[in-house]
Amino acid sequence: MVCKICFADFELSGFRLFFEAHPIVCEKCFQKMNPQFFHGKILGYPSISIYEYNAFIRKLIYRYKGGKDYELKDVFLASYNKLLRFIYRDYVLVPVPSHIKADEERGFSHVQEIFFSLGMPLVIAAKKISLSKQSNRRFFERKQIKNELIPTDNLTKLKDKKVLIVDDIMTTGFTLQAMINIVKKANPQKIKILTVARRIAYHGEE
């Protein structure tokens, strides 16, 4: 087998054999990704983040999202595919949208692609738009532009459903809060949150 991250040939041994029918990440890269499964709550709803946003994960996400290494879409969840499908059976995936322009430039919607691998039903319940036009003015004026999430017509499909809101990186949690507030309007049966990584703010940062 060839590792999708470092391209090294590898053979899998140990406990991962039980969980992974088609392993795509070698043991070295697996260790560097360092899965932690952080449990938390956002607006009272249970959340899980698989990884800390460490240097290795940051590089991987950058390579995938910015560098357009599309093949990396599967590496983040690969080792937990079965586990996640079991934990969230009966749930509908609702990805936090990126800005529509960012998706167009990239050629794919990066959060959706990561979670497609779970083979679970997925509903696009919101989109991200800019409220005012981009200008070439000075920096402090450009900061006036606000990105906002707005619901799509699909939102009503979430009524009485168990909803799993998914995103790549949780930083402040504000975007996820905004997403929760949109999803709540559809009166779902349950809401949970799953993110690939969680950024830990150190003292003195931010």
Which of 24, 26, 193, 197 binds Zn ion (CB under 5 A)? It is 26
Only segment of 21-29, 42-50, 77-85, 131-139 that touches Zn ion (CB under 5 A): 21-29
Which of 1, 9, 17, 29 binds Zn ion (CB under 5 A)? It is 29
**Residue 5 in the binding site for Zn ion (CB under 5 A):** yes
Between 69 and 103, whose beta carbon lies closer to Zn ion?
69
**Residue 3 in the binding site for Zn ion (CB under 5 A):** yes
Q: What is the 3-state secondary structure (H, E, C) of the chain?
A: CECCCCCCECCCCCCHHHHCCCCCCCHHHHHHHCEEEEEEEECCEEEEEEEECCHHHHHHHHHHHCCCCHHHHHCCCHHHHHHHHHHCCCEEEEECCCEHHHHHHHCCCHHHHHHHCCCCCECCCEEEEECCCCCCCCHHHHCCCCEEEEECHHHHHHCCCEEEEEEEEECCCHHHHHHHHHHHCCCCCEEEEEEEEECCCCCCCC
Between 6 and 200, whose beta carbon lies closer to Zn ion?
6
Only segment of 2-10, 51-59, 100-108, 196-204 that touches Zn ion (CB under 5 A): 2-10
Only segment of 4-12, 72-80, 99-107, 153-161 that touches Zn ion (CB under 5 A): 4-12
> Count residues contacting Zn ion (CB under 5 A)?
5
**Residue 24 in the binding site for Zn ion (CB under 5 A):** no
Q: Which residues bind Zn ion (CB under 5 A)?
A: 3, 5-6, 26, 29
